[in-house]
Chain A
């Protein structure tokens, strides 16, 4: 029962990701695409340090290591 709940929850999240991305790609949409949101976050800098860029790329590196090497 709890396992089905977890699977259902994660599937719901994935479907929602796809649905919002689909809505973002419609003509005249006011929702930015996931790529645009990522690009905006990656622009964040503290002084000369590209904190957003380092954080995002580092997170993605860790994610790949976590799923594909662990």
Chain B
């Protein structure tokens, strides 16, 4: 007997649930947080984890959440923080005044030297990446 199409929803796979994906991301982040900047290990680990997520994201291997077909006019509000950030990042980058007028990267570097902060940044990056892959 055929079922109506809207009733046949694919059950989420076990590894696609937060109870599985979040601990995996935490483990990956804790490892990443131990790797120092400019090291070969950090480069390989970043390229490896990011490459794997891009491969998953482009190969249709995970179910995606539906994307909106149109954006409401209120989407223009997002231009405000993007413009403010872009103006400061662009100005600091072009003027190249170092620590006197630092870019966002220069400001973040000393914070990211702490292993705990670095692991938290890794988790934020991987969690957002996973979110993008599923979009």
Contact = CB atoms under 8 A, between A and B. Distances in A.
Interface string B104-132: 11011000100000100110011011011
Main secondary structure on A side of the interface with B:
helix
A32 B102 contact: no
A67 B125 contact: yes
Interface residues of A, number: 45
Contacts, number: 142
A67 B105 contact: yes
Contacts of B100: 2-3
Interface of B: 32, 35, 37-39, 42-43, 45-47, 49-51, 53-54, 57-58, 65, 67-75, 77-78, 80-81, 84-85, 87-89, 92, 97, 99-105, 107-108, 112, 118, 121-122, 125-126, 128-129, 131-133, 135
